[in-house]
Amino acid sequence: MKKILIILLFFNIHSVALSSVKKNLVQNLLETKNLSFNFEQNINGKIETGNCILEYPKKIFCKYDRSNNKILVSNGNSLVIKTHNGNYYRYSIEKTPLNFILDKKFLINKINTLNERIIDNKFINFTIIENESEINIFFDMKNSNLVGWQTLDIYQNLNITFLSSLKKNQPIKKNTFKLPSPN
């Protein structure tokens, strides 16, 4: 009987601890209006780096280092990728995994309803299946900050993005999320 009580107590304590982790993640997201960060992106083994400014909901501006001066911009509706050599790609944000990653209300809902996975007592991972896409999103266990994601892009390429040097709620210039023209 003692063993059963100890096991039940362990599961109860574990359940309360995980509930607290989720509560901290949700609270951190609620308090976050925007993020600026450096990133390292690995798409099928090709690594690119740069920096981004993200503003909830669904806005992002990323400037890539040494990559044809590539930029990625979302104004909340459309996503544009433009390179220095003239390549210009425009997508509906709804057709990309960023539609979900950049929507904190969606993330909060998923955090509250999905089971989390703790990785090496450092990271919290949620696997989101949405519109036939799988998105793995990762948070730091200590400070509840977003630290990266893993997706399949629209061309079925594995895309792993790691965030670093994260800053929250910084002033943002007015036209940061203005979509660039094709020229």
User: Which CATH number is 10's domain given?
Assistant: 2.50.20.10
Do the domain assignments include residue 175?
A: no
SS3 content of the chain, % helix, strand, coil (to 5): 25, 45, 30
The range of the structural domain enclosing residue 119 comes to 2-168
For the chain, which residues score pLDDT lower than 70? Answer: 1-18, 67-68, 153-154
Q: Which two tokens mark 178?
A: 């203005």
- Indicate whether 183 belongs to any domain: no
pLDDT at 12: 38
Distance between CA atoms of residues 127 and 134, nearest Å: 7
Q: 98 in a domain, yes or no?
A: yes
Peptide bond into 57 cis (omega under 30): yes
Say if 177 falls within a structural domain: no
Q: Total domain count for the chain?
A: 1
**pTM score, two decimals?**
0.85
In a domain, residue 178? The reply is no
Amino acid identity of residue 14, one-letter, is H
Would 182 be classed as within a structural domain?
A: no
- What's the confidence (pLDDT) of residue 133? 81
Question: Directed axis angle between helix 104-113 and helix 2-31, to 10°?
Answer: 180
- Residue 7 placed within a domain: yes
Phi and psi dihedrals of 14, rounded to 5? -60, -45
pLDDT, position 85: 86
pLDDT at residue 24 in the model:
95
Q: Report the pLDDT value the prediction gives residue 5, as an integer from 0 to 100.
A: 36
Residue 173 is assigned to a structural domain of this protein: no
- DSSP for 142-169? TT--EEEEEEE-TTS-EEEEEEEEEEES
| Contacts within 8 Å (CB) and 24+ apart, 177-180 | 177/55, 177/59, 177/60, 177/61, 177/73, 177/74, 177/75, 177/76, 178/73, 178/75, 179/73, 179/75, 179/78, 179/80, 179/90, 180/71, 180/73, 180/80, 180/82, 180/88
